[in-house]
Amino acid sequence: MAARVTMRDVAEAVGVSSMTVSRALRDDETVSAKTRARIQDTARDLGYVYDTTAQAFRTQKSGFVAVTLPSINNANFAETYRALSEAMAESGMQILLGATNYRLEKEEELVRQLLARNPQALVMTGGHHSDATRDLVRARGLSVIDMWDLPVDPLGHAVGFSYAEAMEKMVAHLVSTGRRKLAFVGASDGADQRGATRRDSAIAAAASRGLPPVAVLDAGPAPVSMRHGAAIAERMGRELLNFDAVLCVSDPVAFGVLSACRRLDIDVPGQLAITGFGHFEVAYTCEPRITTIDVSAHNIGVEVAHILDAIIAGDSERHRIDVGTRLVVGGTS
C-alpha cells in the first residue's frame, strides 16, 4: 500500500507551505487565483485525497449528526431518515445511524457508541430515554432533537405531533359511523412507547365519550407487524365479531387483521371496522383501503433538518414543532 499523499506532499511539489495548500483546497479567496489553480491541479495529479478524519480531529467538528431510529425496517421511519439525510448531505454533514429495536437499553448502548464519534447533534426518535442516556448527553452539552414525539420535558428540541389528538380524531370518526364496542391491537410490552401512547389515547378517547371499555388485544412483543396482526386475528376467529371496530397500532398490523378477516369470512367494514396508523403504502393500496392517520414522516425529516442547520450554525434557540396529523378515511370503516 503506497504511502498516503498529504497536503505536505502537495505543498512541496508546488513549492508553497502546507498552510497555503490547506487554504487553496478549501477555496479560500485569500490565496491568489494562480496559486490556487496550481495547487488544485497538482493535488489532482498526485491523487491527493482530503482526510476528513484529520480535519474532524483538528477542528473538533466531526461533521456527523447521530440519529437513532427504533427500526430502519419501517417505511415511515425510513422516509423520515431519507428526507433528513438528503437535506444533511447538502450541508456537508453525514449521518451516523443506529437502530434501537424499540429498547431503551439498546438506545443507551447506541448513544454511547455514537457519542464516541463526536457528533455535532443527536436526533432521537421518541421522547423516552433512560436516565443514563439523559446524563450522557447532558454531560456533553450536546444538542438533542426528539422526533415523532412532543415530550413534556424534551432534552432539547422536538419535532412531532400529538398521538392523543390523532387517536381522538380516529375514535370520533368511528363513533360518528356508529361504532361503540372497540378493541385495540398492539404490542404486549411497553417497549414501543409510541404504540403504547396510541393505545392509551384510544382508551381515553373512548372513555371520554362514555363508550364501553376498550378491549386490548395482545399481538406479541414489539415491534408488531403484518404477520402479528394476522396471527392474533386468526387466533381470535369469529370472536372478533364481539367488537364493532378494531383499532390497530399501525397500518401493517391493520392489514394483517384485514387479511385474516378475509380468510375468516368476516365482512369489512360491514361486520367490523378496521383502522390503522401511519398512512403506510399498504393502507392505500390494499382493497378495501384502510382508514388511517397520516403523520407526514417526510415533513418530520425536513423540519429536523432545518433545526440541525440552525444548531450547526450556532443558533441556540429552542424549537418545538407540531407537524400535525390527518385522518384518512378508507374503505374499512
Partner DNA sequence: GGATAACATGTTACCGATATCACAACAAGT
Partner DNA sequence: ACTTGTTGTGATATCGGTAACATGTTATCC
Cis check: omega of the bond before 223, within 30 degrees of 0:
yes
Q: From the CB of 53, what's the least distance to a second copy, in Å?
A: 5
Residue 4 is classified by DSSP as: P
Q: What HEC string does 155-197 produce?
A: CCEEEECCHHHHHHHHHHHHHHCCCCCEEEEECCCCCCHHHHH
The site for DNA (CB under 7 A) is made up of 4, 6-8, 15-20, 22-23, 25-26, 29-32, 35, 48, 50-51, 54-55, 57-60
Q: Which of residues 147-176 bind a second copy (CB under 8 A)?
A: none
What, of DNA, a second copy, none, does residue 59 touch, CB below 5 to 8 Å by kind?
DNA
**x/- contact string, 75-114, with a second copy (CB under 8 A)?**
x--xx-xx--x---x----xxxxxx------------xx-
Query: CA nearest 146: which of 164, 129, 162?
Result: 129
Q: Is 49 in the site for a second copy (CB under 8 A)?
A: yes
Query: CA nearest 224: which of 180, 254, 258, 245?
Result: 254
Cα(98)–Cα(72) distance, rounded to whole angstroms?
A: 9
Strand boundaries in 237-307, DSSP class E: 245-248, 273-275, 292-294
Q: From the CB of 12, what's the least distance to DNA, in Å?
A: 10
Read off the amino acid at residue 241. Answer: L
Report the residue number, 98 or 127, with the smaller CB distance to a second copy: 98
Q: From the CB of 171, what's the least distance to a second copy, in Å?
A: 26
**x/- contact string, 250-279, with a second copy (CB under 8 A)?**
--x--xx--xx-xx----------------
CB atoms within 10 A of CB 259: 17
How buried is 264 (Cβ within 10 angstroms: 0-12 exposed, 13-18 middle, 19+ buried)? Answer: middle
Q: Which residues lie near a second copy (CB under 8 A)? A: 1-2, 4, 47, 49-54, 56-57, 60, 62, 72-73, 75, 78-79, 81-82, 85, 89, 94-99, 112-113, 115-118, 135-136, 139-141, 225-227, 229-230, 252, 255-256, 259-260, 262-263, 281-282, 284-287
